[in-house]
């Protein structure tokens, strides 16, 4: 039996029929074509590389979703296949505007993406929504949890929503999200929105894969401006104060002024672009079109100055090195002898019988010797 369609995205309401726009293919499932229904063909036929490439280029959503599943798989066989597909698609990538959106939980990121994405679709764009969510291995991904926030967008055939790849290191998530973004570009999505929760390192990771980075903020700028938010502000191309509606509107406007005064003294995240604060109401859809105008202006300015291309080139370089680092780190810490010796060496360091440098040398020696004799 073909049970492919039983995997419904969670954000589709219970009573909905099968007309939802996004196709959710269960993670790590063998990518496949529908089975013929005959028992002895229980192991379904795999698509060829050419079928994947053609399917993605034709924006066949099922094939796109399955190609993403390949990219997200940690199985060597799938990885190899995914790389071949990506290589064939490379001439068709890079033509989108890549936008990162961050903000504390509850800032309204999902509501904003619903409003912004819908606005873009209505204005002739095709929008892919991805997420980098460091907590997704526990929660299953914030987008998946958004049963209602992106209801319209998830049904819109011009939009494609994919939850954060779960599990693995941040470096692994980085690679998977970047490659997913490339697949979406090859499928013709011209605006890519990447949501991330304002926790830990994920802002830096997302900043490094997008053209335009936006911080969704709330009122009470004074409190936020203290402490860690400053670091994030230095990455942003726009601060958008959301929930500028009802009683909150005057406060939002005051916060905008405060942010603008503060931003004035910061080094801009993008050379030649002045980061400013704006207000909007994602809930009412107010100020959304103005924010798109800001993005358009940004793209125009940075393309003219060459900063746009330069950033993309630097991001590619950064990607090479971050992948190497990620590979080495995983390889080191998953090495059986290293794993075995770490607690012993750690103890020796803590009890004062071994210096840190010596400990590291010993572990590296174990790793490197083992590598040679393997
Ligand atoms: N009044 C008002 N409420 C809003 C607005 N945008 C979002 N909200 C509300 O704020 C709450 C949080 O919104 P979300 O869109 O889920 O926020 P989020 O940033 O995606 O949150 P996480 O996914 O938990 O990080 C919801 O109850 C929204 O209805 C807005 O513009 N105005
Ligand atoms: Mg959310």
- Domain region containing 320: 315-373
The two beta strands, 97-103 and 212-217, are: parallel
345: domain CATH number is 1.10.287.130
Q: How far is the CA of 262 from the centre of ligand 2 (A)?
A: 27
Whole-angstrom CA distances from 266 to 78, 109, 172, 237 are: 45, 24, 32, 12
- The C-alpha atoms of residue 332 and residue 337 are separated, in whole angstroms, by 10
Neighbours of ion ligand 2 (CB under 5 A): 109-110, 142
The reply to whether 195 falls in a domain is: no
Ligand 1: residue whose CA is nearest its atom 28: 108
Residue 68 and residue 166 in contact, taking contact as beta carbons nearer than 8 Å? no
328 inside domain: yes
Tell me the CA–centroid distance for residue 108 and ligand 2, in Å: 7
356 is a domain residue: yes
Long-range contacts of the stretch 300-304 (C-beta < 8 A, 24+): 301/272, 301/273, 302/211, 302/270, 302/272, 302/273
Assess if residue 345 is contained within a domain: yes
Is residue 221 within 8 A of residue 251, CB to CB? The reply is no
Calpha distance 207→273 (Å, rounded): 15
* Confidence band for 41, pLDDT divided at 50, 70 and 90: very low
pLDDT class of 76 with cuts at 50, 70, 90: confident
Residue 333 maps to a domain: yes
Determine, yes or no, domain membership for 350. yes
Q: Kindly list the protein residues whose Cβ atom lies closer than 6 A to any atom of ligand 1.
A: 103, 105-111, 142, 149, 197, 242-243, 245, 281-283
Q: Where are the beta strands (DSSP E) in 74-119?
A: 97-103
Q: How many domains does the chain have?
A: 1
Q: How far is the CA of 137 from the centre of ligand 2 (A)?
A: 15
Give per-residue pLDDT as tens, 57-72.
999 999 999 999 999 8
Give 179-235 pLDDT, tens digit per residue.
999 999 999 999 999 998 766 678 888 999 999 999 999 886 556 555 556 778 889
pLDDT for 168 = 66
Question: How far, in Å, is the centroid of ligand 1 from the Cα of 143?
Answer: 13
Q: Report the nearest-CA residue for atom 2 of ligand 1.
A: 243
Report yes or no on 360 lying in a domain: yes
Q: Are 217 and 282 in contact (CB under 8 A)?
A: no
Rg, C-alpha atoms of the chain: 23
pTM comes to 0.82
Pick from 10, 105, 110, 242 the residue to mutate for probing ligand 1's pocket: most ligand atoms within 8 Å of its CB.
110
Q: Please tell me the predicted confidence (pLDDT) of residue 220.
A: 66
In a domain? residue 54: no
Q: What is the DSSP letter of 248?
A: G
The mean pLDDT value for 248-269 works out to: 91
Q: For residue 360, give the H/E element and its range.
A: helix 356-373
- To test the pocket of ligand 1, the residue of 11, 104, 108 to mutate (highest count of ligand atoms within 8 Å of its CB) is 108
pLDDT digits (tens, 9 = 90+) for 127-186: 999 988 766 544 444 454 555 578 889 889 999 998 877 666 777 788 899 999 999 999
b/e per residue 296-318 (b: at least 16 CB within 10 A): eebeeebeeeebbeebeeebeee
Condensed to tens digits (0 to 9), the pLDDT of residues 264-290 reads 888 899 999 999 999 999 999 999 999
Q: Which two tokens stand for residue 183?
A: 């697949």
User: How far, in Å, from the CA of 222 to the mean position of ligand 1?
Assistant: 20
């Amino acid at each position: 039996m073909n049970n492919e369609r039983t995997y419904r995205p969670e954000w589709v309401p219970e009573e909905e029929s099968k007309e939802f726009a996004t196709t959710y293919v269960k993670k790590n499932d063998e990518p496949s074509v529908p089975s013929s229904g005959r028992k002895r063909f229980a192991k379904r036929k795999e698509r060829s590389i050419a079928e994947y490439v053609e399917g993605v280029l034709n924006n066949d959503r099922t094939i796109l979703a399955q190609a993403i599943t390949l990219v997200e798989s940690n199985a060597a066989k799938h990885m190899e296949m995914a790389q071949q597909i990506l290589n064939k698609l490379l001439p068709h990538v890079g033509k989108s505007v890549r936008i990162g959106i961050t903000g504390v939980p509850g800032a309204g990121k999902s509501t904003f993406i619903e409003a912004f994405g819908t606005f873009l679709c209505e204005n002739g764009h095709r929008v892919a929504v991805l997420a980098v969510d460091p907590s997704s291995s526990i929660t299953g991904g914030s987008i998946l949890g958004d049963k209602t926030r992106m209801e319209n967008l998830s049904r819109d055939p011009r939009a494609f929503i994919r939850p954060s790849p779960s599990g693995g290191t941040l470096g692994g998530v980085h690679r998977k999200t970047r490659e997913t973004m490339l697949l979406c570009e090859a499928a013709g999505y011209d605006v890519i929105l990447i949501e991330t929760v304002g926790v830990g390192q994920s802002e830096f990771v997302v900043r490094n894969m997008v053209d335009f980075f936006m911080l969704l903020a709330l009122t009470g700028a004074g409190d936020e401006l203290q402490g860690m938010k400053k670091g994030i502000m230095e990455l942003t191309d726009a601060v958008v104060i959301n929930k500028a509606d009802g009683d909150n509107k005057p406060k939002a406007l005051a916060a905008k002024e405060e942010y603008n005064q503060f931003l004035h003294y910061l080094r801009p995240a993008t050379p030649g672009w002045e980061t400013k604060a704006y207000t909007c109401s994602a809930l009412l859809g107010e100020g959304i079109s103005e924010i798109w105008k800001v993005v358009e202006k940004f793209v125009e300015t940075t393309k003219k100055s060459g900063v746009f291309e330069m950033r993309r080139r630097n991001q590619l370089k950064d990607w090479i090195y971050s992948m190497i680092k990620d590979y080495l780190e995983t390889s080191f810490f998953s090495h059986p002898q290293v794993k075995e010796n770490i607690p012993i060496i750690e103890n020796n360091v803590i009890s004062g019988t071994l210096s840190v440098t010596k400990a590291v040398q010993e572990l590296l020696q174990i790793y490197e010797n083992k590598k040679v004799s393997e």
